[in-house]
Amino acid sequence: MTFYGSDYDALEAFDPEIAGVLMSELDRLRGGLQLIASENLTSPEVLTAMGSVLSMKYAEGYPGRRYYGGCAEVDKAENLAIERCKALFGADHANVQPHSGASANQAVYGAFLKPGETLLAMSLPHGGHLTHGTKVSFSGKWFNAVHYGVDAETEDIDYDQVEALAKEHRPTVILAGGSAIPRLIDFERFRAIADEVGAIFWVDAAHFIGLVAGKAIPSPVPYADVVSFTTHKVLRGPRSGAIVCTEEHKAAIDKAVFPMMQGGPMMHVIAAKAVNFKECGTPEYAAYAKQVVDNASVLATTLGEHGIRPTTGGTDTHLSLHDLQGVGVSGKDAEARADAAGIVLNKNAIPNDPAPPSVASGIRVGTPCVTTQGMGTEEMKTIAGLIAKAVTEGDADPGHPVSQEVRAAVTDLVMRFPAYPR
Ligand SMILES: *Cc1c(COP(=O)(O)O)cnc(C)c1O
């Protein structure tokens, strides 16, 4: 059945310019390899809920306690999202209203920190996130952020440094998680350090929560006071955020999301989150999450065999970070050369990067999208070879023979494993 919100022909008739953008974006997704570690290809079911009539309803407050009438239907959607989220992660409490990962984090700050108080988090250049106390973010302007990093030898989190900084600065909150951490995080160790100094232990699981949902890696939920996350990365839901926490912090989190930080919730996106949480409880999703990790591991190792060294020696998750210094190409050039050949990835700083962030000495690659397309470890070996060829022999010009040769191989791959099959 066609439903309001899914009528492409009507949009095209009224606004061909925007309809054209939608169609050419679909072509772009179908035509290349999406290796951005924070992206995924969400389901038509999730997209349907997002583009739906639930978008209109004002529903400030929480189910059964709204500031507007007419909320009976949206209450059902939010209650389903909350219950499914709690069940999926075994959490005491879930707040499904944050608009994004950054909004979820803002609420966690609002719940636990007063302006000027101290946060201990991973530094951005070592794999953290802008919202973890960087100077350009509200989090660095309003709070006293102290940062830990990775060990120079292992390139993984320096837990001894975390402990030493925690004892020295007595932070109100200790935060684990980031955007470029290829390895598992030792939540037990973080919990012990937080307990030693009486800090709240917060995990920003934005990147890897999908692997937790699919039981492919250990969960932070039994260890953390609060876990914030996005729903659109490996998790494969709508573009949004959520927070789970222990019973003890339930009231503080709910008050911080609304009314402290947000106004009316996006009920269409909350419904889409409910659909996504249901998907994540299926055996198919669990198999997907495991395949994402297997694929990332093979992609990282094979790139290493081509001289593009994975930091920490590999990955346990959906992403790997690669040092290009061995092949003498900058992250910026690698990104442009891959793009010219139909491979979308991003330049990324590596720990102790000698280059400025706008150039960077590394790239970050992730397997959520290509795994959604059904690719496996054999295809990862092929992709690693294509990346290596584009990066080391190619050019930012799509007309360059190497760009064209790699693009032809990319086209062959995406024809066999289409995104959004017709
Ligand atoms: C992506 C990400 C965020 C921000 O999510 P947005 O939805 O882009 O606001 C926050 N924290 C981490 C660790 C992330 O990777």
Q: Say whether 233 is catalytic.
A: yes
Q: What is the pLDDT of residue 84?
A: 98
From the list 60, 186, 395, 405, the catalytic residue is 60
Cα(103) to ligand 1 centroid in Å equals: 9
Q: Please give the distance, rounded to the nearest whole angstrom, from the Cα atom of residue 4 to the centre of ligand 1.
A: 31
**Rounded Cα distance, 317 and 153, in Å:** 20
**Bridge partners for 226 per DSSP:** 202, 245
Which atom, in ligand 1's list, is nearest to the CA of 239? 7
Apex 335 CA angle, 330 and 338, nearest 5 = 120
Q: Is 129 annotated as a binding residue?
A: yes
Q: Which domains does the chain have, with CATH numbers?
A: 50-280 (3.40.640.10), 290-416 (3.90.1150.10)
Residue in 12, 58, 117, 382 annotated catalytic: 58
Instruction: Report how far ligand 1's centroid is from the alpha carbon of 148 (Å).
Output: 19
Mark whether 230 is an active-site residue.
yes
pLDDT for res 279: 98
CA nearest 115: which of 76, 141, 88?
A: 141
Catalytic residue among 30, 239, 250, 290: 239
Per the annotation, the verdict on 395 as an active-site residue is no
167 is catalytic: no
Compute the average pLDDT of residues 20-26. Answer: 97
Q: How does DSSP classify residue 133?
A: T
- Tokens, residue 305: 């065999």
pLDDT tens digits, one per residue of 90-147: 999 999 999 999 999 999 999 999 999 999 999 999 999 999 999 999 999 999 999 9
Q: Which of 155, 156, 158, 204 is catalytic?
A: 204
At 1 the three-state DSSP class reads: coil
Alpha carbon of 206 to ligand 1 centroid (Å) = 6
Residue from 42, 119, 131, 348 to probe ligand 1 pocket by mutation (most atoms less than 8 Å from CB): 131
Amino acid at 119: L
Is residue 204 annotated as a catalytic residue, yes or no?
Answer: yes
Nearest to 46 by CA among 236, 325, 311: 236
Q: For the chain, give the percent of residues with pLDDT over 90.
A: 98
Q: Which of 230, 261, 262, 318 to mutate to test the pocket of ligand 1 (most atoms within 8 A of CB)?
A: 230
The residue contributing the CA closest to ligand 1 atom 3 is: 101
Q: What pLDDT does 1 receive? A: 75
> Given a cut of 90, is residue 3 above it in pLDDT?
no
Say how far residue 354 (Cα) sits from the centre of its chain.
26
pLDDT tens for residues 371-394?
999 999 999 999 999 999 999 999
Give the active site residue among 57, 183, 233, 337.
233
Is residue 304 very low, low, confident or very high in pLDDT (cuts 50, 70, 90)? very high
pLDDT for the residue numbered 7: 87
Q: Which residues have C-beta atoms less than 6 Å from ligand 1?
A: 38, 100-102, 105, 129, 131, 177-179, 204, 206-207, 230, 241
Chain Cα centroid distance, residue 4 = 30
CA pair distance 74, 78, nearest whole angstrom: 6
Q: What sign does the CA torsion over 32, 38, 39, 43 have?
A: positive
Is 130 annotated as contributing to ligand binding? yes
**Percent share of the chain, pLDDT over 70:** 100
62 is catalytic: no
Whether the per-residue pLDDT at 209 is higher than 80: the answer is yes
**Max CA distance (Å), the chain:** 64
189 pLDDT exceeds 90? Answer: yes
What mean pLDDT is predicted for residues 396-412? 98
Rounded CA-CA distance 367/295 in Å is: 6
142 C-alpha to center of ligand 1: Å?
19
Q: How many CA atoms lie within 13 A of 224 on its CB side?
A: 28
As a whole number of angstroms, the distance between CA 407 and CA 340 comes to 8
